Every structure is written in structure tokens, then in C-alpha cells.
Amino acid sequence: MDKVEKRGTRQIIHRHAVLRPSAMPLSEQTRAGKAARARAPRSAPATWTPRADRPDPIGLLQAGDHNRLPDLVPIRYGRMLESPFAFLRGAAAVMAADLATTPTTGFTVQACGDAHLANFGIYGTPERNLVFDLNDFDETLPGPWEWDLKRLAASVAVAGRANNLPDNACADAAYSAVRSYHESIATLAQAGYINAWYQRVDAVAVLDILYGGSRKQVRRRLARAGRRDNLHALDRMTKVMDGRLRIVDDPPLVTHVGTLSSIDARRRCCAATAGRCRSTGARCLIATPSWTSPARWSAWAASARAATSSCW
């Protein structure tokens, strides 16, 4: 049980240190934050050593396959084989297992749960403003704030390597991401609920930190995003059949039950596209009947373990 202490209208839960900003003055929050450094010094994240009893990364990935469609699992693994960054994206469970052994300050938040770089993007708000923010919350859960930040920083460094940037540039990029988080949290801590709620990064402001070809590319994406709406997606993903709207099949990922649900049908689709998923271009391991053979699985596992060591 958590120890609960009441001070007037304030309530402090000691074990998880769940602070209620509206009831605790900023000065007390600051003192609580500094006191938490005894549990997790700021220098602690600088090093990480795998534990001797660290779970096998491949075993962790396989453990998550029980609630997936079996004939789509090979497509997932094919995507992850594309690069260390692609492996990092698909291996949230592996990184979570590693992070679970690291010290934290004990402050629990509603974490994204998978805050890697590719889960940030541009989208429209209900007010039809384009903003830059997290856009994937299917892994959200209460957890240490440090986990989101570490996954973001790791993904920035791995993405830099994937773009052939030197190690010092990758380190600088990761440091900048962490520093920006620090500065933003410091600002939001002094804002009221309403101001914090409406805090946002306008997509146009992203252009200010870009230059050259990157700026032109993002400008084109902003122009396309401004023209899209739900009706655009409806036209692209559906068609009228027998007077009713029906989702358009896009095998092997999007199919109606009973039409392309068998692995043989998906294999034929992938074989027809040179072993790559027509929707994403990713490698598809079901293009050959032997993808589940012990030799094929061992080869994939060796590649995946190598990718793990390249990610973090």
C-alpha cells in the first residue's frame, strides 16, 4: 500500500510520488523533484549495462505474438529487418524490459509508451490547425516519465546513424531533444491548467528549425496535409458496392474476413510483388513457404539480435 499523507487539502502519495499540481505549490514540487535525485541521480542514465539475467530479446518479441494474426507476424518481422531503426520501432517490449531495470525518480505519468521519433508528426486539430505532436497512443499506460524520454533520445540517435551522421552529430541531436524536453517541462510547470492544455507546436513553426531540402520537403507535406480531411480518407479507403460503402481490400494488410484470410493467399500476394509488402514496401517473410523453418528463424533471430546491439 502507498503511504498517503494529508496536509490540509493537499494529498501526497509517497511511494509513487503522484503529485497533484493544483494542490501543491510550485516551490514544493521543485523541492520534491530535487529530493527525488537521491533515488535516481541525474548521472544515472549516462551508463547502462545489460543484466546477467536479461531476457532474450527474441523471446520477448515472440511472447507478444500470441495476440497477433499469425499470418501477419512475418510482415511485422520483415519490416523490423529493414534497419536498426526499424527494429527499434518494433521492439518497444524489448526496450521496456531493459528500462524496467533502470532507476527512476518515482514520478508516474500517463506515458505515451512508445515515444520514438517516428511517432511524432503533423496532424490537424478539431479547430483545423496543423500541429506537430505525438500521434500514436496505442501503447499508452501509466509509467515513469523517464521511459518516454529515454526512448525518444535513443530513437533520435539511431535515426541519425541510419542517415549516416557521425556519432558526435547523433549525440548532439539526442542531447538537443532532452534539453528541449527539460526546458518545456520547466515552462509548463509554471503554467496553469488552461495554458498547459492549449500549449502546442504549430506545424509552421517547425519550418523555422529546418533548412535547405528539408524545409522544402516539409513545406510540401504541410500543403498536402492542409488539403486533406476525413472525406479524402473515405474516398481513398472505400468504394460503393451494391449501394453500400465497403472498405477496399489492400492485401496482405487490409482484407475482408473470408476473402484473403489464409496464409497461402497472402503468400501469393507477396510473391507477386517480389517478396515485398505492396502497401509498405517492407520485406515480407511469408513470400516463401520456408519462413517458419528452424534455419530461417535462426537467421532472422541472429539479425534481430545484431540490430538490438546497434540500437541501445
Q: What is the pLDDT of residues 135-191, one digit of tens each?
A: 999 889 999 999 999 999 999 999 999 999 999 999 999 999 999 999 999 999 888
Specify if 47 maps to a domain. no
Please indicate, yes or no, if residue 75 is contained in any of the structural domains: yes
User: Quick one: what percent of the chain has pLDDT higher than 90?
Assistant: 38
- What cell does 166 get? 557521425
Establish if 149 belongs to a structural domain: yes
Is the residue at 18 inside a domain?
no
Angstrom CA distances, 10 to 5, 16, 17, 191, stand at 8, 16, 13, 19
Per-residue confidence (pLDDT) for residue 80, from 0 to 100: 93
Q: Which domain holds residue 278?
A: 57-311
Nearest to 137 by CA among 156, 159, 115: 115
Instruction: Give pLDDT, residue 264.
Output: 56
Distance CA 153, CA 234 (A): 36
Number of domains in the chain: 1
Q: What is the mean pLDDT of residues 75-83?
A: 92
Q: Which of 30-34, 121-125, 149-153 has the lowest mean pLDDT?
A: 121-125
- Provide the whole-model pTM: 0.74
C-alpha dihedral, 92 to 94 to 96 to 97, nearest 10°: 160
Say if 4 falls within a structural domain. Answer: no
Let me know if residue 140 belongs to a domain: yes
The answer to whether residue 262 sits within a structural domain is yes
Residue 230 within a domain: yes
